[in-house]
Structure 1
């Protein structure tokens, strides 16, 4: 296989992953008609954790886990709480209160907040191009929501999603600091943090919302989300990051906003007006500018 065709295959694999992640928004919206959001999130990531657990028994990963220091374990526990318990929990709650496209758009605040947090936490200053991206993103958000008329449900949903975006941003900075040392295999980072966060999320969901009877159709959706859209998709994405540049992975990831809009329109009947469409495109372009100047981190 030539270098060009190999690279093209990697790009197509990355696009496949973003498509799988985009379908998650639609599947979750359908499943929320029967399964409470926190319990749903806990079930999805607990099943995904069980699927990935066998990887901890390989010789190299077992050695890494045995040699983990207390500070490493603390960071992994914190990552699990921030990225899975908070970020994923609030995302499922957000999807129970808001249209899928609005949740997707709000999640695009993450790179902006990460860029600002990086100034104070790791002394990493945004470039002029990144600041332009911030301005464009905010302009896109304003265009999408103008005029601002929020129902009680939508207002609550945006508050929940804001908490989720802050948790997601903090977990991104923490994850970068863990991966920067390159001492812990990414699969070990994922398994330990996912295990802690997902079990916490599931217990919280059962205590607060109970464990409902799940229909066969929703059980299939749940298994698909856990096995294909989480365990398999994250594994493939990590593989593509070894080859793709930061710009390529950012552009591919940025297509999710459009993919989700199209899927939500087809399967959920969430219509997008011309104004909202323009706002989405401006915001997506701004979020892209914030990300593309960053160096690709080894995974």
Structure 2
């Protein structure tokens, strides 16, 4: 899955596009899983746990030597990545219980702002002027979506709590991306994905046990939805982002994630009848324009 040769310049952008499409189904499938009675913590655990199990044979086949040679620093970074990834899914999926898909996905994808600030402060990354323009337009579109959604009646009973959980999920995913940048510099993709997803899943299993949240006893349909989340949004979607970490900046990946509210809101309208207003549509257009400009400005 990784090779020594640099890929064509267009390939990371194509991979990110496919990943974005897959990840847009994450909120929809999570809502279906909640409808089948799965607690949010259980959904997060099954999503990451099943993804880690599915990729285990490939990781051991391609990267067994690398995994045996892990040093202490890599192990600590892996635990950190797993911790923030577990917390990201636990908080974000919980947010879907209290607020709309549009608000939740718009707020959880504000990691662009946090990744850009942290990349500048920690690594000295200076985005180009065109990328900065794309960031501003994208964040403005995200804010417009949230403002428009907040004016309408929220489907959840505690939209403020749901919005706060989504923002916390954004902070956690930002930390996960930055740690992943360090790990991906020295680890092949199968090894990194297996370690990150597996460690996050183990932390979530411990959280389920300590909170008394059951992982079994649900319907077959509920487990099929969880499997769909593992195969689509997680393995295809998030793994696309992880592969791209070696070829484009984490700031640009954060920009791409801002397209998630567009796909998720359209899908929420199709499956759940969550209509979006005119200003939300304007915000979606701004998100896409910002992503395009950031892609042009990516160095």
Sort the TM-score into its range (normalised by shorter chain).
0.7 to 0.9
Question: 194-203 vs 71-80, which deviates more?
Answer: 194-203
Matches within 5 A, 1:1-299: 15-33=17-35, 34-58=37-61, 60-83=62-85, 85-146=86-147, 153-180=158-185, 183-211=186-214, 213-234=217-238, 255-286=259-290, 289-290=293-294, 292-295=296-299
- The answer to whether the Cα contact below 8 Å between 1:45 and 1:226 also exists between their aligned partners in 2 is yes
Moved more, 281-290 or 125-134: 281-290
TM-superposed deviation, 1:176: 1.1
How far apart are the structure 2 equivalents of 1:139 and 1:86? 26
* Contact 2:25/2:267, CA 8 A, preserved across alignment: yes
Gaps of 5+ in 2: 1-7
Mark the CA change 1:201 to 1:75 in structure 2 (over 3 Å): closer, same or farther.
Answer: same
TM-score normalised to structure 1 length:
0.81
Corresponding residue of 2:4: none
Do the aligned partners of residues 293 and 171 (structure 1) sit closer, same or farther apart at CA in structure 2, a change above 3 Å counting? Answer: farther
CA-CA distance at 1:250 after TM superposition: 8.4
Q: 1:291 to 1:92 in 2, by over 3 A?
A: farther
Contact persistence 2:88–2:169 (CA under 8 A): yes
Q: Compute the displacement of 1:208 (Å).
A: 2.0
| Closer, same or farther: CA 145–61 of 1 in aligned 2, 3 Å | closer
Mapped partners of 2:193, 2:179: distance in 1: 13
Tell me: CA distance 1:163–1:20, structure 2 relative to 1, closer, same or farther (3 Å).
same
CA distance in structure 1 between the aligned counterparts of 2:295 and 2:66, rounded to whole angstroms: 31
- Structure 1 contact 264–270 (Cα < 8 Å) conserved: yes
Q: Which segments of 5 or more consecutive residues in structure 1 lack a partner in the other structure?
A: 1-5
Q: Is the 1:110–1:169 Cα contact (8 Å) retained in structure 2?
A: yes
| Deviation string, structure 1 residues 116-169 (Cα, Å, up to 9, x no partner) | 111110011233223323432343244333375597611111111111111111
Q: How far apart in 1 are the matches of 2:277 and 2:43?
A: 31
Q: Do the aligned residues in 1 keep the contact of 2:115 with 2:250 (CA within 8 Å)?
A: no
Q: Distance in 2 between matches of 1:269 and 1:125?
A: 42
Q: CA RMSD, aligned part only?
A: 3.4
